[in-house]
């Protein structure tokens, strides 16, 4: 297989399609102050649906973290899924790195999309940002969902071993892995039952794709894709037991797509080219031939951009184009953080926590409950760690939907500044 092939890049291409199939479109907003934010927004907004803002945590971009939610959630909400600054397609030249600044940027972003009122659901670091958003913009945020977001944490908690690491620097090395070994540590800390048999090349590929600086927008000529079956992938094999990857079909004469791949110096071997297309198609069997070619061409484009960035010095640390800035985000999150400084939000709040969360232990949920009183509801997901979105997506979605669309529990008071509990959301 050619060295430039990236399974993680294929996955990201597929995630884009899933978000698109869920009725979302990709948008980029320039704040004209050095800040650019990318966001998935509804292709057609419905006045009969409430607005929901999903904020991702550390790791890859929002697509990787919410892919199991977008389909069902978009059926009930006008869904907005931004990339936080220094993730995905969002960046800034401004020096601020606090979660409060992230919240202010999201407020500007949502204002630009004409959203004045919304529910907010944040995952891990996204919960910190969502909490700040609710505290700073009380009249715009209605209900809040925090998923394994330890907003009640203090800087001293890290030093005292509450989070199973000895320092913020060690936490940074876990949450921002630069090597396959550190990626394995992230799996161990994030999952109740971590996947142990992951090949190093897959972990290395994920580190590279998740940490890389996004490619700048560019206009590319449309490449005509033949409507017939140029690689004869649809023809049945003479032996039905043959596997499409282990036993590819006999090589057909070179086609326009194959000539394109060869002439660009990507592959000089037609058999490797066909194996690649077969692999893309086998990963998602519903894809048409032209979609497979589209995936292959997109992989080629991204790999070339990656090599140009490495040569020009825009990447470092194993491909981490925003690695330095993300480290600054984590350090800013914990620096001089004290529980007594945490504001009390007035919106009805749901906290969803993994029973065996090692990054933000359940003790932080209990601490937040004491801080907010009856206005917060705690839900514990059994046999789950920090990565609730990956381990228990159906349970998390069920609780989010029930809390945001259903009546409030009797112990929770309505926020007088907001329209909640079935009132129309503008």
Give the pLDDT of residue 410.
78
CA dihedral 49, 403, 105, 214 (to 10 degrees): -80
Q: What is the topology classification, in CATH, of domain 12-175+322-405?
A: Rossmann fold (3.40.50)
Q: At 109, is the secondary structure helix, strand, or coil?
A: helix
Confidence of residue 283 (pLDDT cuts 50, 70, 90): very low
pLDDT at 264 over 50: no
Per-domain residue ranges of the chain: 12-175+322-405, 224-314
Return the sign of the alpha-carbon dihedral for residues 217, 219, 220, 224.
Answer: positive
Model confidence pLDDT, tens digit, residues 333-392: 999 999 999 999 999 999 999 999 999 999 999 999 999 999 999 999 999 999 999 999
Average pLDDT over residues 133-139: 96
Q: How large a percentage of the chain has pLDDT more than 70?
A: 68
Return the sign of the alpha-carbon dihedral for residues 304, 310, 316, 317.
Answer: positive
d(CA 181, CA 261): 34
394 contacts: CB under 8 Å, gap ≥ 6: none
Model confidence pLDDT, tens digit, residues 74-106: 999 999 999 999 998 899 999 999 999 999 999
Return the sign of the alpha-carbon dihedral for residues 299, 303, 306, 312.
Answer: negative
- Return the H-helix or E-strand segment holding 275: helix 270-283
Report yes or no: 194 and 188 within 8 Å, Cβ to Cβ. Answer: yes
Report yes or no: 226 and 258 within 8 Å, Cβ to Cβ. Answer: no
d(CA 178, CA 185): 11
- Return the H-helix or E-strand segment holding 311: helix 289-312
pLDDT at 151 over 80: yes
- Return the H-helix or E-strand segment holding 330: helix 323-334
pTM: 0.74
Q: Which two tokens stand for residue 343?
A: 């504001």
Return the sign of the alpha-carbon dihedral for residues 157, 132, 173, 148.
Answer: positive
Report yes or no: 61 and 88 within 8 Å, Cβ to Cβ. Answer: yes
Model confidence pLDDT, tens digit, residues 403-418: 999 998 777 755 554 4
């Amino acid at each position: 297989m050619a060295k430039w092939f990236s399974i993680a890049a294929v996955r990201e291409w597929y995630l884009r399609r899933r978000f698109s199939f869920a009725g979302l479109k990709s948008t980029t907003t320039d704040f004209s102050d050095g800040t650019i934010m990318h966001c998935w927004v509804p292709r057609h907004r419905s006045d009969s649906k409430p607005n929901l803002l999903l904020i991702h945590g550390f790791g890859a971009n929002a697509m990787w973290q919410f892919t199991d939610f977008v389909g069902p959630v978009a059926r009930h909400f006008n869904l907005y899924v931004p990339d936080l600054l220094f993730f995905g397609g969002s960046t800034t030249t401004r020096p601020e790195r606090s979660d409060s600044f992230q919240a202010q940027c999201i407020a500007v972003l949502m204002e630009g999309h004409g959203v004045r009122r919304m529910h907010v659901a944040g995952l891990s670091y996204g919960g910190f940002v969502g909490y700040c958003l609710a505290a700073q913009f009380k009249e715009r945020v209605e209900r809040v969902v925090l998923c394994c977001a330890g907003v009640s944490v203090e800087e001293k908690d890290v030093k005292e071993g509450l989070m199973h690491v000895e320092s913020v620097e060690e936490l940074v090395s876990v949450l921002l892995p630069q090597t396959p070994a550190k990626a394995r540590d992230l799996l161990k800390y994030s999952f109740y039952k971590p996947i142990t048999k992951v090949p190093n090349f897959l972990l290395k590929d994920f580190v590279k794709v998740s940490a890389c600086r996004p490619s700048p927008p560019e206009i590319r000529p449309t490449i005509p894709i033949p409507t017939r079956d140029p690689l004869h992938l649809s023809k049945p094999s003479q032996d039905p037991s043959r596997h499409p990857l282990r036993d590819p079909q006999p090589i057909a004469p070179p086609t326009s797509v194959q000539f394109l791949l060869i002439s660009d110096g990507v592959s000089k071997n037609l058999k490797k080219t066909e194996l690649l297309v077969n692999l893309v198609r086998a990963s998602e069997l519903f894809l048409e031939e032209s979609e497979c070619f589209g995936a292959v061409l997109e992989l080629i484009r991204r790999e070339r951009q990656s090599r140009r960035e490495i040569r020009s010095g825009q990447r470092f640390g194993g491909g981490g184009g925003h690695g330095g800035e993300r480290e600054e985000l984590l350090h800013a999150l914990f620096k001089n953080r004290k529980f007594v400084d945490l504001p009390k939000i007035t919106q009805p709040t749901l906290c969803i926590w993994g029973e065996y969360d090692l990054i933000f232990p359940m003790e932080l949920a209990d601490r937040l409950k004491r801080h907010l009183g009856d206005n917060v509801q705690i839900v514990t997901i059994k046999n789950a760690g920090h990565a609730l979105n990956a381990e228990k997506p159906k349970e998390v979605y069920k609780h989010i939907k029930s809390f945001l669309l259903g009546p409030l529990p009797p112990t929770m008071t309505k926020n007088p500044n907001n329209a909640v509990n079935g009132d129309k959301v503008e």
